Amino acid sequence: MTLEDKIDKNRLPQHLAVIMDGNGRWAKKKGLFRSKGHENGTKAVREVVEACAKLPIPNLTLYAFSTENWNRPKLEVDTLMRLLVSSLKKEIDTLIDNDIKLNAIGSLQSLPKKVYNELFDVMDRTKSNSRMTLTLALSYGSREEITKTIKEISLKVKNNLISPSDIDEEMINNHLYTHDLPDVDLLIRTSGEQRISNFLLWQIAYAELYFIETLWPDFTKEHLFEAILNYQNRERRFGKTSEQLYP
């Protein structure tokens, strides 16, 4: 029985989020430039995207570039942006073949024109696909997202469109970049770091967290299946007692 066969297809996470970390360290270990780590990271992206679509996991969100990543050396930022354009061009057929819809979250207007245009082109060409929604978090920061949400809601209050008592969790949710996605069920971070790094703070309120030492370019579908099996063995109580869940 393979790892994949052991997965209960009726209890798959409905939203899997991944912090793809460790590209730089992977390259350093091999005596290569950091850019080689990012290049090899794209192979892991393809493997994970295809495996998730096959299961299927209906929503996969990948942290590709954070608001803080703009502070990296310009050369590295440029390499990452170039890699994004070439990957989007290269992967469009994979997305279409696997019935995957591309989505993006983050402060997208901060992206270079070339990236922005390619991204919106691929999103447009895959908009009717329905097997899986693949969301790329690009120039994404959770604090930026929450700040934007507060500004938008405040403006509605100021213009008397709503009153403060109308503000509830659903309204906040509806203003987030992720408004059309369910809450995250499982969050995976590679490379051994055990932190969230400004990713989906609101949306992971009740997510199961899974940290793995493997560096992102070495991450395979077997690692993914192990993470899902681990997730399926957890008891998600959402504040209740175990007895309430299984009377």
The answer to whether residue 19 forms part of the interface with ligand IPE (CB under 6 A) is: yes
Please state the closest distance from residue 69 (CB atom) to ligand IPE, in A: 5
129-168 residues in contact with ligand IPE (CB under 6 A) are none
CA distance 194 to 126: 34
CA distance 5 to 8: 8
Torsion of CA 30, 36, 39, 45, to 10 degrees: 30
Residues with Cβ < 8 Å from 13, sequence gap 6 or more? 57, 185, 186, 228, 231
The answer to whether residue 232 forms part of the interface with ligand IPE (CB under 6 A) is: no
3-32 residues in contact with Mg ion (CB under 5 A) are 21
Tokens 């057929």 sit at which residue?
A: 93
Q: Which of 61, 66, 129, 139 binds ligand IPE (CB under 6 A)?
A: 66
Please state the closest distance from residue 21 (CB atom) to ligand IPE, in A: 5
> Measuring CA to CA, which residue among 177, 218, 208, 230 is closest to residue 48?
218
CA distance 58 to 130: 8
Q: Which of 12, 16, 21, 188 binds ligand IPE (CB under 6 A)?
A: 21
Which positions are annotated as active-site residues?
Answer: 21, 69
The answer to whether residue 195 forms part of the interface with ligand IPE (CB under 6 A) is: yes
12/188 with CB nearer ligand IPE: 188
> Measuring CA to CA, which residue among 16, 11, 9 is closest to residue 59?
16
The answer to whether residue 188 forms part of the interface with ligand IPE (CB under 6 A) is: no
Please state the closest distance from residue 186 (CB atom) to ligand IPE, in A: 16
CB 67 within 8 A of CB 109: no
Of these partners, ligand IPE, Mg ion, none, which one is at the site of residue 173 (CB under 5 to 8 Å by kind)? none
- Give the residues lining the site for ligand IPE (CB under 6 A): 19-25, 63-66, 69, 80, 191, 193, 195, 197, 216
